[in-house]
Structure 1
Amino acid sequence: MSWTQADADFAAEIAVAAGKLLQEVRASRDWEPKELGKAGDAAANELLCHAISIERPDDGLLSEERKCDGSRLTKSRTWIIDPVDGTREYGEARDDWAVHVALCIDGRPELGVVALPDAGLVLRSDAPPALQPLNHPPRMVISRTRPAAEAIAVAEAIGAELVPMGSAGAKAMAVVRGLADIYLHSGGQHEWDNAAPVAVALAAGLHATRLDGSPFVYNCAETWVPDLLICRKELLAEVTEALRATAAAN
């Protein structure tokens, strides 16, 4: 079983619709940031889950904002969504938040859409952008609020410039777009944080795995994903060696 162009267009359509709804919610009145995050999450989640349940009723569904009943675990095709990736950034009216829609088939991230509504961008695995020239020195995106110690150590080892950024989707797409070359995270995420970004990154020709090089497997009973590395393949050997040296030193 595989995905179709109709699946890809559907994923993009609902990601864009959710992004527009989130912007409308934010503009509807003055909000406290945390209150806005909750309202936006709820509204976008309802839109996405309703659309998938109506248009793809036989598929599984996993959302950050929806209690999982376990039925997805019996499905070959499962949609994994994050209605607002980067709630803090959304609440602060920054542009580094995202909407994630992924279709995983037998655990593989086969299709992904990452919408960056305030940046006016939609990145799709079925039509990934061409990779841009490497940055010199290389640039590594890290969390604005919780930069991973391993990422900082690797950046120092290879002479990379650190670029703080918001959501996981925005950071991954910065590498896809050529604004950065490396996204290394060891602080843990959930499947909805990286399924769509990983699908787009792989389709664009980037390296995207766990830190130990193992592939991502999605639609698991345990949704926790301890770490990830998305980077240009030209830098993989250098980054991997720096990771090994960092681990040995600790």
Structure 2
Amino acid sequence: MPAEVRALASDADHQLAAELAAHSAELLRALRACGIDDPDVLRKQGDRRSHELLAAELAARRPADAVLSEEGKDSAQRLGVRRVWIIDPLDGTREFGEPDRPDWAVHVALVIDGFPVAGAVALPALHEVWSTAGAASHDQPPAAAGPLTGPPRLAVSRTRPGPAAAQVQQALGAEPVPLGSAGFKALAVVRGAAEIYAHSGGQYEWDSAAPVAVALAYGLHASRLDGAPLTYNNPDPYLPDLLIAHPDWARPALDAVRLPPC
């Protein structure tokens, strides 16, 4: 990410991302505690109410910025502005509707000129918010600190691990760590619960913008599976693959996914 683009995000932008993610997390915790028996009703309410909260706050506090939300109607207007907030109001809707599962998240990211310069990922069930603001203020320990030994832990989908994860597991002898939402898997690397998250098979920009912003702020590697930079606010928000890794494991993981599958 160009340093001049990173510098365009203000301290207030970093703080706003963290604040909004925390507010949405509080709403979703309260909703989950309401005792709604039908999990589909709970999931739909979670998606809708979290989106409405985030969209209203951004409209009030950043009226000149555009918004791309998984739960909102897309508009070509966002392609003509430099600053776009990319949000996933409830990442891991399936897990949100399952009692006692913690692996769901809220994503809030600010993208400027295509780069995720500020962001926050809330893990509401754990009462944690990881953000670029926290990284800058050293409120949380750097995830990339310290040498690593032994085989890496690999965050994988609990329901449908993709071919990239299988290649990394086979090539590096990685230990799979099955988890739910994309944000929770990415944050497993930030939090030191895994060393690699390799995804293939399809995602959208809202699935990774905030996790990538946070991962980069904490000194981790984040790229496409071919090593290319991740860019956002494209006309088509489909972004099919992703690698987030501890720096010591980034090159081995990239080499592993370039091998032809058996």
Name the counterpart of 1:221: 235
Return the match for 1:12 from 12, 18, 23: 18
Q: Kindly, what percent of the aligned residue pairs are identical?
A: 51
Name the counterpart of 1:114: 121
Q: Which whole-Å CA distance do the structure 2 matches of 1:215 and 1:238 have between them?
A: 17
* 1:66 matched to 2:72: yes
Return the match for 2:132 from 118, 125, 129: 125
Q: Which whole-Å CA distance do the structure 2 matches of 1:68 and 1:150 have between them?
A: 29
**Greater shift after overlay, 124-133 or 14-23?**
124-133
Q: Which whole-Å CA distance do the structure 2 matches of 1:31 and 1:10 have between them?
A: 33
Task: Work out the number of aligned pairs and report it.
Answer: 248
Name the counterpart of 2:107: 100
Name the counterpart of 2:62: 56
Q: Which whole-Å CA distance do the structure 2 matches of 1:243 and 1:183 have between them?
A: 12
Flag the 1:22–1:70 CA change in 2: closer, same or farther, 3 A: same
Q: Which amino acid aligns with 2:142?
A: A
Return the match for 2:37 from 6, 31, 39: 31
Q: Which amino acid aligns with 2:128?
A: L
Return the match for 2:155 from 122, 141, 164: 141
TM-score of the superposed pair, with normalisation by structure 1: 0.95
Q: CA deviation at 1:241?
A: 2.1
Q: Which whole-Å CA distance do the structure 1 matches of 2:131 and 2:227 have between them?
A: 24
CA shift digits 1:101-131 (9 cap, x unpaired): 0000000010010000111110011322312
Q: Which whole-Å CA distance do the structure 2 matches of 1:111 and 1:22 have between them?
A: 22
Q: Which whole-Å CA distance do the structure 2 matches of 1:171 and 1:220 have between them?
A: 24
Q: CA deviation at 1:135?
A: 5.9
Name the counterpart of 2:138: none
Q: Which whole-Å CA distance do the structure 2 matches of 1:24 and 1:123 have between them?
A: 20
Name the counterpart of 2:251: 237
Gaps (5+ residues) in structure 1? none
**Structure 2 SS opposite 1:30:** coil
Q: Which whole-Å CA distance do the structure 2 matches of 1:56 and 1:236 have between them?
A: 36
Gaps (5+ residues) in structure 2? 136-140
Alignment check: 8 A CA contact 1:135 1:181 kept:
no
Q: CA RMSD in A?
A: 1.3
**Structure 2 SS opposite 1:225:** coil
TM-score of the superposed pair, with normalisation by structure 2: 0.91
**Structure 1 SS opposite 2:189:** helix
